[in-house]
A = this chain, B = another copy of it.
Amino acid sequence: MIKEEDLSGWYHELLEKADVVDSRYPVKGMLIYKGWGLSMIKRMQQYLEDMLDLNGHQPVLFPVLIPEDILGKETKHIAGFEEEVFWVTHAGGNELERKLSLRPTSETPIYEMFKLWIRSHSDLPFKVHQSCAVYRYETKHTRPLIRGREFLWNEGHSAHVDDDDVKSHMEKIKEIYLRLVNELLCIPFVVNNRPEWDRFPGAAETCAFDTIMPDGRTLQVATVHNLGQNFSRAFGLTFENEEGEHELAYTASYGPSFGRLLASVICIHGDDVGLILPPKIAPVQVVVIPIVFKESHREGILSYARDIEKKMRDNGFRVKVDDSDERPGAKYFYWEMKGVPLRVEVGPRDLKQGNITVVRRDTGEKKQIALDELDVESMFEEITLSIRERAEKRFRDGFHTIGNLDEIKEHAGNGIVRVGWCGNKDCANSIEEYVDILSVNGGKRLCVVCGSEGVEVLAAKTY
């Protein structure tokens, strides 16, 4: 498993060995989440949901099926999704009177209900979120957790009195996503304002969170869309303003992909040995390994290990004593592969002296300390900082300022390039022969294609 040499092979092997997912399910692009992976996704989900609830969102859960007429109400939206929709046409032995789609995203059914839930300006802003699976019939090459036909996310939907309120809400959501992506998961990112042709179908503005994977391609892990009044118009979503007049609401929608976030954690932090997990999402945060040389020591060492486990558990940490029959070396190897942030070894000498040996997964650093000195909380903070800094250094090194098309060709697939673009779609097409334009909101620069005045854009090979 050499990550540098074969990221894809390393990734697939690790997903299976570490019980993250099983990709052998007999439907293309759909996979089984297993214990280790599911537990991390649930932690991300809970962390995000708590922040959204605190921000005033109501948690909801909508049906997975959307009737064809509702999915089709906003014309640009359905045009963008119609090639990707799974259709339920039959039930039991009968053909259904109207086709039902598996939700590719839930703007349409949610606005259908917003119409019933929102009456007046005093109901606004109105904010809901749901954690669920969505379904897209991807024709591109699928990859576990990165591009699938069924994927897990949280989608937020909000309605507002005006565009200003949408914009300030979008800023709050970006802060919340920053906390999820960077504070919790230690993943660096840049927020890109997507060019018109790459926006969410029906959106007036799409801001995307892009990170850089170790193979130099960018991965979009979350998006925040300003939908203007497009959907409100299609759905007749109005509210009574302070003057008693009916006005169309302004709406926004936003969501991170839990699968892509997990894929980023695996690929960006992991190494040849296996996963390296940020402590806050690790299903097991500390593994305690009893080192027994002589049978006569076994009971004493095991009970010492259990005391340590209990103490840590009482302090709210997820701890496991590995008292299986494997040799210590095999245990080290296994739990390092699983990415457990901290290993505690306890042998006969430790027991005698009231010491423990602690080993960090991220650096391999090993030290013997008195049990009383152990401060798991601070160690986790150090580990988190160190994982984040390492990832951020590589992320910064992944940016390149480019002067001509040949250099683009050279750097394609090698991080994010900064180039000038004049705003002309033909020139964009020339750039996009090599890299996708991620955002168009930079300072002044000459176009890398035609040499006219333009702005700096970010571009990269993307997943």
User: In the complex, what's the smallest C-beta–C-beta distance from A36 to chain B, in angstroms?
Assistant: 9
- Mask for A75-94, Cβ within 8 A of B = 1, else 0? 00000001111111111110
Q: How far is the CA of A152 from the CA of B112 in the complex (A)?
A: 22
Copies of this chain, tallied across the complex:
2
Inter-chain contact A88/B102, CB cutoff 8 Å: yes
Inter-chain contact B83/A61, CB cutoff 8 Å: no
Contacts of A25 in B (CB 8 A): 62-63, 109, 113
Inter-chain contact A67/B27, CB cutoff 8 Å: yes
On whether A92 and B83 interact (CB within 8 A), knowing A60-B35, A64-B133, A113-B32, the answer reads yes
Q: How far is the CA of A437 from the CA of B31 in the complex (A)?
A: 41
Q: How many residues of A contact B (CB 8 A)?
A: 48
Q: Which of B85, B89, B113, B133 contacts A87 (CB 8 A)?
A: B89
Inter-chain contact B32/A60, CB cutoff 8 Å: yes
Inter-chain contact A34/B60, CB cutoff 8 Å: yes
A30 interface hit (Cβ, 8 Å): yes
A47 interface hit (Cβ, 8 Å): no
Contacts of A83 in B (CB 8 A): 92-93
Q: Which of B87, B113, B152 contacts A90 (CB 8 A)?
A: B87
Inter-chain contact B116/A63, CB cutoff 8 Å: no
Q: Which of A31-79 touch B at CB < 8 Å?
A: 31-35, 38-39, 58-65, 67, 70
Inter-chain contact B63/A38, CB cutoff 8 Å: no
User: In the complex, what's the smallest C-beta–C-beta distance from A135 to chain B, in angstroms?
Assistant: 8
- Mask for A337-351, Cβ within 8 A of B = 1, else 0? 000000000000000
A26 interface hit (Cβ, 8 Å): yes
A205 interface hit (Cβ, 8 Å): no
A100 interface hit (Cβ, 8 Å): yes
Inter-chain contact A38/B65, CB cutoff 8 Å: no
User: In the complex, what's the smallest C-beta–C-beta distance from A133 to chain B, in angstroms?
Assistant: 7
Closest to A31 in B: B63
On whether A100 and B60 interact (CB within 8 A), knowing A92-B139, A93-B83, the answer reads no
Q: How far is the CA of A87 from the CA of B91 in the complex (A)?
A: 6
- Mask for A395-419, Cβ within 8 A of B = 1, else 0? 0000000000000000000000000
A334 interface hit (Cβ, 8 Å): no
Q: How far is the CA of A343 from the CA of B140 in the complex (A)?
A: 56
User: In the complex, what's the smallest C-beta–C-beta distance from A328 to chain B, in angstroms?
Assistant: 21
- Count chain B CB atoms within 10 A of each CB in A87, A135, A152 and give the residue with the most: A87
User: In the complex, what's the smallest C-beta–C-beta distance from A237 to chain B, in angstroms?
Assistant: 15
- Count chain B CB atoms within 10 A of each CB in A32, A38, A116 and give the residue with the most: A32
A215 interface hit (Cβ, 8 Å): no
User: In the complex, what's the smallest C-beta–C-beta distance from A50 to chain B, in angstroms?
Assistant: 12
Inter-chain contact B93/A27, CB cutoff 8 Å: no
Inter-chain contact B59/A38, CB cutoff 8 Å: yes
Inter-chain contact A86/B91, CB cutoff 8 Å: yes
User: In the complex, what's the smallest C-beta–C-beta distance from A80 to chain B, in angstroms?
Assistant: 12
Contacts of A63 in B (CB 8 A): 25, 27, 30-32, 150
User: In the complex, what's the smallest C-beta–C-beta distance from A368 to chain B, in angstroms?
Assistant: 33
Inter-chain contact B70/A26, CB cutoff 8 Å: yes
Inter-chain contact B85/A91, CB cutoff 8 Å: yes
Q: How far is the CA of A31 from the CA of B84 in the complex (A)?
A: 24
A240 interface hit (Cβ, 8 Å): no
User: In the complex, what's the smallest C-beta–C-beta distance from A30 to chain B, in angstroms?
Assistant: 4
Q: How far is the CA of A19 from the CA of B117 in the complex (A)?
A: 11
Q: How far is the CA of A171 from the CA of B331 in the complex (A)?
A: 34
Q: How far is the CA of A116 from the CA of B26 in the complex (A)?
A: 12
Contacts of A22 in B (CB 8 A): 113, 116
A17 interface hit (Cβ, 8 Å): no
Contacts of A34 in B (CB 8 A): 58, 60
A sample of 21 cross-chain residue pairs with beta-carbon separation below 8 angstroms, ordered by A number, consists of: A25-B62, A27-B63, A30-B63, A32-B60, A32-B61, A32-B62, A33-B60, A33-B61, A38-B61, A39-B59, A63-B150, A64-B102, A64-B133, A64-B150, A65-B86, A65-B150, A82-B93, A84-B92, A87-B91, A88-B102, A91-B137
Given contacts A25-B62, A87-B90, 12 further A-B contacts (CB under 8 A): A38-B60, A38-B61, A61-B152, A64-B102, A64-B135, A82-B92, A83-B93, A85-B91, A86-B100, A87-B89, A88-B88, A89-B90
**A-B CB proximity, top 5 nearest:** A30-B63, A91-B137, A33-B61, A35-B58, A87-B90
